[in-house]
Chain A
Amino acid sequence: MAKFMGLAEAIAQNVRDGDTVAMEGFTHLIPFAAGHEIIRQGRKHLTLIRMTPDLIYDQMIGMGCADKLVFSWGGNPGVGSTHRMRDAVENGWPNALALEEHSHAAMANAYEAGAANLPFAVLRGYLGVDLPKVNPKIKSVTCPYTGEVLATVPAHRPDVGIIHAQRADREGNVLIEGITGCQKEVVLASKRTIVTVEEIVDKLNPPSFNSVVLPHWTVGAISHVVGGAHPSYAQGYYKRDNSFYIAWDKISRDRDTFLAWMKDNVLDKTPEAFAAHAKKGSV
């Protein structure tokens, strides 16, 4: 049942050391403010699930929040490497990071299986590639009807699912528009959920009968964080900050530069700081 609260309280109540956490948003609506709050609260030993770790997990990995990463594409889109993730994998800094690596198709199917309350997902995938040799969770099943051998992966069932959305109404129903990724599946697959929103409105007014709406009884904590997806974006509110994604390459390359940036922009800040980004990039 949806409950409105501040972001600090939402994270404190729902995210515990050692949890498996999925923070989704496929380029769009990435819940950066929630990631920063997890860093400020010093959560440790998390297993982080995300199709594209993006800058949000690069920051969390670099600040020592994660023991394990479950993912399918770990780079800075269109720019290059996620340097903090690479430093953890290649050099064990700030700690060793275990990898469970999939393809996008498998990750999307695993979220969908979780939402559908199934133990595993089945797909025509991983043909002729090396990933199954290094990820023992990728297995196969023989179709009982045709005999075709198909790939399987376990369903994602996170302890906590975290997403950012455009808006919620006062009852706690949540609307997502634009590139909706697999946020609906993450919310329905997770034991506990946190949704940050750009706006809280009297009436949700979904733009069409088929809009993606999560009923209030499927979501847990809702926190109002204006700009909470920056440098990702919220369609209809503000644009993706591509210049920041480009700038992150230099900030994150060096450990000290990264730590200084995190102190100034995350550790010494509060969720309210995100509002200025939304204003700057507003559409």
Chain B
Amino acid sequence: MDFTRNEMMTIVAARALKNDDVCFVGIGAPSAACNLARLTHAPQITLIYESGTIGTRPNVLPLSIGDGELCETALTTVSVPEMFRYWLQGGRITVGFLGGAQIDKFANINTTVVGDYAKPKVRLPGGGGAPEIATNCGEIFITMAMGKRAFLDKLPFITSMGHGPTGAERRSMGVKSQGPTRLITDMCVFEPDAETKEMTIVSIHPGVTREEIAENCGWTPRYAATCSETPAPTAQELEVLRDIQARTKAAHAA
């Protein structure tokens, strides 16, 4: 079955989630991946959106993090202060799933500005829940499409911490959570090196070359000695993903 690179990215991101995860879901690509996991191999996964919905099971992907569909299908809905204090800061979340505009080799993320903060070239939306999601969840998965403007050697602004500017900052600051353990792109999957914490390519998606990856990465990426080919999407994964995306498109156009 043919598939797009974007479908490949979503499917590989979904595979990273487990049935017993409690997952704080970012909007956009993470939301598609988390719901695909729920509709395939992880039917009991607990999905939490920052709007306060806990254990939500939407039939279509929400456009915002607070669509009515999320509340209607949730086990319970709590206030936003409670969400951030008791559930996120309280250490109840096993995985935070984030997207981003720009990322560096230690998986720090920028979604705040391009250029100078006071006189920005491009004003991006800002951090939202991400700064505290990044440090208060057990581990972090990130999903982003590769490109020279997105994968940068040095970020203009750190909105949420990955492993810090040199890879050592989590340890030196005493942050106990693991931080980004997986970065799933449209071309490959990165995981942090055990020692340096630099994000290292552990698998390459079918049909992608190392040259292409180099052309779309602002630093020279390292490859794990055991780097393999990512298993292609199964027919079932593609079917479930396309179904929910078709339902979503119809719902949002109505």
**A27 & B66 in contact (Cβ 8 Å cutoff):** yes
Q: Is B122 an interface residue (CB 8 A)?
A: yes
B119-137 interface code vs A (CB 8 A; 1 in, 0 out):
0111111111111100110
Task: Tell whether, in the assembled complex, residue A179 and residue B252 are in contact, meaning their CB atoms are under 8 Å apart.
Answer: no
- Taking CB atoms and an 8 Å cut-off, the chain B residues in 19-72 that contact chain A are 27-28, 50-53, 62-68, 70-72
* Contact flags B159-174 to A (C-beta < 8 A → 1, else 0): 1110010000110010
Bound together, the chains give a CA A243 to CA B121 distance in angstroms of 29
Residues of chain A with a CB closer than 8 A to B129's CB: 73, 103-105
Partner of A78 from the list B62, B135, B170 (CB cut-off 8 Å) is: B62
Q: Are A73 and B126 in contact (CB under 8 A)?
A: yes
* Residue from B108, B126, B159, B170 having most chain A Cβ neighbours under 10 A: B126
Contact flags (1/0) for A70-99 with B, using CB distance below 8 Å?
Answer: 011111011101100110011000000000
Residue of A26, A86, A129, A131 near B123 (CB, 8 A) is A86
Q: Is the CB of B63 within 8 A of A130?
A: no
* Cross-interface CB contact of A73 among B62, B128, B135, B251, cutoff 8 Å: B128
Q: Which residue of B lies closest to A77 (CB)?
A: B64
Q: Are B117 and A181 in contact (CB under 8 A)?
A: no
What is the distance, in angstroms, from B157's C-beta to the closest C-beta of chain A? 5
Stretch at the interface among A1-9, A120-128, A157-165, A269-277: A120-128
- A26→B52 contact, CB < 8 A: yes
Comparing B83-91, B215-223, B226-234, B237-245, the segment that makes contact with chain A is B83-91
> A-B pairs with CB below 8 Å: how many?
180
A124 in contact with B89 given A111-B81, A130-B112 (CB within 8 Å):
yes
Q: Is A257 an interface residue (CB 8 A)?
A: no
A128: which B residues are within 8 A, CB to CB? Answer: 108, 135, 158, 161, 164, 169-170, 173, 175
Q: Cβ of A127: which chain B residues have Cβ within 8 Å of it?
A: 131, 135, 161, 173, 175
CA distance A246 to B252 in the complex (A): 9
Return A249 CB to nearest CB of chain B, in Å. Answer: 12
> Nearest chain-B residue to A127 (Cβ)?
B135
Check if A192 is an interface residue, CB within 8 A of chain B.
Answer: no
Q: Given A74, A82, A103, A235, which contacts B68 in the complex, CB threshold below 8 Å?
A: A235
Is A224 interfacial (CB-CB < 8 Å)? no
Q: How far is the CB of A126 from chain B (nearest CB, A)?
A: 6
A90 and B120 contacting across the interface, CB-CB below 8 Å: yes
Q: CA of A155 to CA of B175 in the docked complex: distance in angstroms?
A: 26
Q: B146-194: which have CB < 8 Å to A?
A: 157-161, 164, 169-170, 173, 175
CA distance A196 to B129 in the complex (A): 28
CB-contact partner of A77 in B65, B84, B126, under 8 A: B65
**For residues 68 through 99 of chain B, which have their beta carbon under 8 Å from a beta carbon of chain A?**
68, 70-72, 77, 79-81, 83-85, 88-89
Task: Give every chain B residue within 8 A of A101 (Cβ-Cβ).
Answer: 112, 126-127
A267 contacts the other chain (CB 8 A): no
- Which residues of chain A have C-beta atoms less than 8 A from B252's C-beta? 242-243, 246
Contacts of A242 in B (CB 8 A): 63-64, 67, 251-252
> How far is it, in angstroms, between the C-alpha of A230 and the C-alpha of B103 when the chains are bound?
36
Considering residues B65, B118, B164, B251, which has the most beta carbons from chain A within 10 angstroms of its beta carbon?
B65
Task: Give chain A nearest CB distance to B37 CB in angstroms.
Answer: 19
B192 to chain A, nearest CB (A): 15
| B contact residues around A182 at 8 Å (CB) | 79-81
Q: Is A37 an interface residue (CB 8 A)?
A: no
Question: Is B1 engaged at the interface, CB distance under 8 Å to the other chain?
Answer: no
Contact partners of A134 in chain B: CB under 8 A: 117-118
Report the minimal beta-carbon distance from B27 to chain A, rounded to whole angstroms: 6
> For residue A182, which residue of chain B has the nearest CB?
B80
B254 at interface (Cβ–Cβ under 8 A)?
Answer: yes
List 23 interface pairs A-B (beta carbons < 8 Å), by A numbering: A51-B80, A73-B128, A73-B129, A75-B125, A86-B122, A90-B120, A101-B127, A103-B129, A103-B131, A104-B80, A104-B128, A105-B131, A105-B132, A108-B80, A126-B132, A128-B135, A128-B161, A128-B170, A129-B158, A129-B161, A179-B70, A235-B71, A242-B63
Beyond the given pairs A72-B128, A105-B89, A242-B252, 19 more chain A to chain B contacts, judged by CB atoms under 8 angstroms and listed by A's residue number, are: A27-B66, A28-B66, A28-B71, A51-B80, A72-B126, A78-B27, A90-B121, A103-B131, A109-B84, A125-B131, A127-B175, A128-B164, A129-B161, A130-B157, A130-B158, A180-B77, A181-B66, A235-B71, A242-B64
Which positions in B face A, CB cutoff 8 Å? 27-28, 50-53, 62-68, 70-72, 77, 79-81, 83-85, 88-89, 108, 112, 117-118, 120-132, 135-136, 157-161, 164, 169-170, 173, 175, 251-254
